[in-house]
Amino acid sequence: MPHVEFLNVNKMYPGGTRAVIDLNLTVEDGEFVCLLGPSGCGKSSTLRMLAGLESITSGDLLLDDRRITDAPAQSRDMAMVFENYALYPHLRVFDNIAMPLVARGVPRAEIRTRVHQVAQTLHISQHLNKRPQLLSGGERQRVALGRAIIRTPQLFLMDEPLGHLEAYLRVQLRAEIRRLHERLQATTVYITHDQEEAAAVSDRIVVMNAGRIQQLGTLIDLLDRPANRFVAEFIGSPPINLLYAVLSNNGNALQIGPTLLPLSPPQRARLKKVRGDGFTFGIRPEDISLTQVREITTIPGRVAVLEPQGDKTVLIADTPSGHLSALVPSKDVPQPGESIRLRCEGSRAHLFGPDNEGVLHGIG
């Protein structure tokens, strides 16, 4: 059952910035969706329109098939967690968590029990009488989470809730957020620019760039079948290698510098239909291996830099087509300056057309 629906939603700011362009997105009931993208990609505007904090320039927003495009924020029955916590500094932690219930006129005795329950869940019972200023960042964000889960809203909105926290706290809290979701089964829209965090908390990731949705799916989908060059570059760590490629003269292979990668008949047919020339060949560092074979299908190069990462090493090589990074086992790593040959795992390669859209996933 669709819970939230964006229908051709646009957001234009005064001054002409188009923050969100023709957004169509459906969030299912109970789903945990993550909006992922670089800063300025429109993810925050999308969330703020959903919360009612930002007006919708055109298009429609539905909640349970009800049109809420122009509904004021306080009537939308949502709970939001902000990146900078946004706690009420003049109120104790107890009152901060209780605020949404006070707004709804819940009896005082019930507020008391529910605040204590929530505080217990989030391990902040000992801080209930303190002012937020006395708490650490992680504790403050727990209070903000508590303020969100104290009632059962239609929707949870989280705007980079872990953005200001230290790395270890981020990992700890994101697991707790996921656990809370498993328990409450509440529909959640979550914003982050950290793909690892997105994969850890969410059911589905929505990659955004320049105001548009680029691709939807799980992290595996995004890694294995990037819809376009942006998604391929944005997702994956270390980042994907992108090399300039053309169709060979006879049209039977893909030519990357001096290297030729054979194409299957259907792939040839597919590429013939692409207008314009000049492709981008994408291969992830983990799909490149060292080889001794001096064949036309391998890429010649020279080791430039080594970045050891434990049992794997990122090897950056100079090749005729530019820099290429490969993730290789740390045993038997060639030394900088050595000549090497690299083999790309064709089935894991991606090809993007002149318009940067994905054309092929798997070559050969």
Q: Looking at beta carbons only, is 11 or 147 nearer to other proteins? A: 147
> Quick check: 85 binds other proteins (CB under 8 A)?
yes
d(CA 38, CA 234) in angstroms, rounded, equals 8
Judged by beta carbon, residue 92 or residue 312, the one nearer other proteins is 92
Taking the C-alpha atoms of residue 97 and residue 59, their distance in angstroms, rounded to an integer, is 34
Please report whether residue 93 would count as binding other proteins according to CB under 8 A: no
What tokens appear for 199 in the block?
A: 């994969």
- Listed in sequence order, the DSSP H helices in 186-320 are 195-201, 219-224, 229-234, 265-272
Amino acid letter, residue 364: G
Alpha-carbon distance values, 58 to 7, 16, 70, 336 (Å): 9, 14, 11, 56
Query: Least Å distance between CB 260 and other proteins?
Result: 55
Query: Which member of 11, 43, 127, 147 binds other proteins (CB under 8 A)?
Result: 147
Q: Closest Cα partner for 176 from 144, 142, 129?
A: 142
Stretch that binds other proteins, among 131-139, 223-231, 269-277, 284-292 (CB under 8 A): 131-139
Q: Is 79 in the site for other proteins (CB under 8 A)?
A: yes
Q: What is the DSSP letter of 335?
A: P
53 binds other proteins (CB under 8 A): yes
In the complex with other proteins, the residue whose CB is nearer, 57 or 84, is 84
**Closer to other proteins by Cβ: residue 48 or 350:** 48
* Of residues 21 and 53, the one with the C-beta less far from other proteins: 53
If one asks whether residue 82 binds other proteins (CB under 8 A), the answer comes out as yes
Strands (E), 50-91: 58-63, 66-67, 78-81
Of positions 24, 29, 70, 104, contacts other proteins by CB under 8 A: 104
Q: Which stretch binds other proteins (CB under 8 A): 48-56, 274-282, 315-323, 328-336?
A: 48-56
Number of residues forming the site for other proteins (CB under 8 A): 29
| Whether the Cβ atoms of residue 31 and residue 87 lie closer than 8 Å to each other | no
- Is residue 11 at the binding interface for other proteins, with CB under 8 A as the rule? no
Which residue type does 76 have?
R
For 201, the token pair is 């908390």
Q: Side by side, which strands form the sheet with 204-209?
A: 78-81, 155-159, 188-192, 32-36, 204-209, 212-217
Min dist CB 148 to other proteins, Å, is 9
- 52 lies in the binding site for other proteins (CB under 8 A): yes
CB of 178 to other proteins, least distance (A): 22
Residue 290 found at the interface with other proteins (CB under 8 A): no
Residue closer to other proteins (CB basis): 74 or 335: 74
Rounded Cα distance, 283 and 262, in Å: 16
Taking the complex as a whole, how short is the minimal distance between the CB of residue 156 and other proteins, in angstroms? 11
Q: What's the count of helices (H) and strands (E) in the chain, helices before strands?
A: 9, 21
Give the residues lining the site for other proteins (CB under 8 A): 51-53, 72-74, 76-80, 82, 84-90, 99-100, 103-104, 132-133, 137, 147, 157, 164
